[in-house]
Amino acid sequence: MSTTSLKLPDDLKARAADLAKAQHLSPHAYMVEAIRRATEQDALHQQFVEDSIEARQHARDSGQGYAANQVHDYILNKARGGKASRPKPQSWRK
């Protein structure tokens, strides 16, 4: 494991120390966990953006898409535990 030094503003360091104490963690463990969570969240966001760009390009290339109201109904039915048929792609080009 490598060592890294962080220069933190005094107020941020104090807040991190207070929150770490409340969670029964050392300030070091608290900061490591915060960086781990931020790294995972940023990786998920990056993947979301990449997937979105790919999906947009696929929609442009194929000319296919889904009616928003059908997608909303599908998601609501699935969330409620009901049976739901997947929406069918439709051509949006005229």
Residue 4 lies in a domain: no
Q: How much of the chain is helix, strand and coil, in % rounded to 5?
A: 65, 5, 30
Is the pTM higher than 0.85? The answer reads no
* DSSP structure class, residue 80: T
Q: Is the residue at 2 inside a domain?
A: no
In terms of residue numbers, what domain contains 63? 10-89
Task: Say if 5 falls within a structural domain.
Answer: no
How far is the C-alpha of 10 from the C-alpha of 29, rounded, in Å?
Answer: 18
Query: Is 51 within a domain?
Result: yes
DSSP string covering 10-27 = HHHHHHHHHHHHHTT--H
- In a domain, residue 29? The reply is yes
Torsion of CA 32, 42, 74, 94, to 10 degrees: 180
- The number of folded domains in the chain is 1
Is 24 a member of any domain? Answer: yes
pLDDT of residue 79: 95
2-6, 11-15, 45-49, 50-54: least confident range: 2-6
Instruction: Examine the pLDDT at 53 and tell me if it is beyond 90.
Output: yes
